Amino acid sequence: MKDIAVVGVGYVGLVTGACFADLGNRVVALDIDAARIAGLARGEMPIYEPGLEELVERNVRAGRLHFTTSYEEALRSAEFVFIAVGTPSGVDGEADLQHVRAVAESIARAMTRPLVIVNKSTVPVGTGDWVADILRSTQPKPIPFAVVSCPEFLREGSAITDFMSPARTVLGSLDADAAEKVAQLHLPLRAPIVITDLRTAEMIKYASNAFLATKISFINEIANICEALGADIKEVASGMGYDPRIGRAFLEAGLGYGGSCFPKDVLALAYMAAEKGRHPQLLQAVMDINADSRR
């Protein structure tokens, strides 16, 4: 049993906290939104996810899951702190990291013991190093810490299953001991664990979502060609899907991708590439095709 703090009780944070509690850990979930925390204390869920209300209720009743607005309370006994706050798109498509910065500064001021700080938020490559710099510069006195990237791969509607039965767990850190500690937390999930450096772990998240978005735009492009040539796109997709190199997932032509992740993450990845002088032509085509599909 480990002591875990989770900052942010939105979609990712609440699922992460409740699932870790269900695995037998002691979890304190923190949010600065007092109304949201008060609602959770009454058993009111801020989001809908199948099975989440029962999962939260069970672990609150068992004394493994608590809610607070206080960083001091959340960090008092914690060994691990998971950051799970939003990173919305900025004006030009860049990820807005104001919430991540605020959390890092608050952790630095409130921590009284060594911590492993684990980032679950989808953040630009290099953010882990940036968070470490913020922590070091904000701490009133030096206290050891390590930063680990552990990107989430949760889908709305199946988030609890995705957490408990993941295809893989990705961990990135410059501190091998910290990465191993976080790996131990995930052992009960019985999934492959990929351990790499911070920047590579952050990139895996973006590359994964960009690839899935690419499959969606690709099949929509093929659907347009099928329509012009008189072929059946459903049968084309089915015939393609039998090839294990291609697979059946994300080969359903339609309105394109949407939701809270794919549009934001593909745009952010293209922005990161352009910032470094690269020309992400494929990503631009993926976004253009998707925009046409959604008209």
Burial (Cβ within 10 Å: 0-12, 13-18, ≥19) of residue 35: exposed
The Cβ-side half-sphere exposure at 209, using a 13 Å CA radius, reads 26
**Strand positions, DSSP E, the chain:** 3-7, 26-30, 65-68, 80-83, 115-119, 145-149, 169-173, 193-196
How are the residues of the chain apportioned to helix, strand and coil, as percentages rounded to the nearest 5? 50, 15, 35
Please give the positions annotated as active site: 261
Cα–Cα dist 140/136, whole Å: 9
Nearest-CA neighbor of 184 among 131, 135, 126, 116? 116
Cα–Cα dist 55/160, whole Å: 9
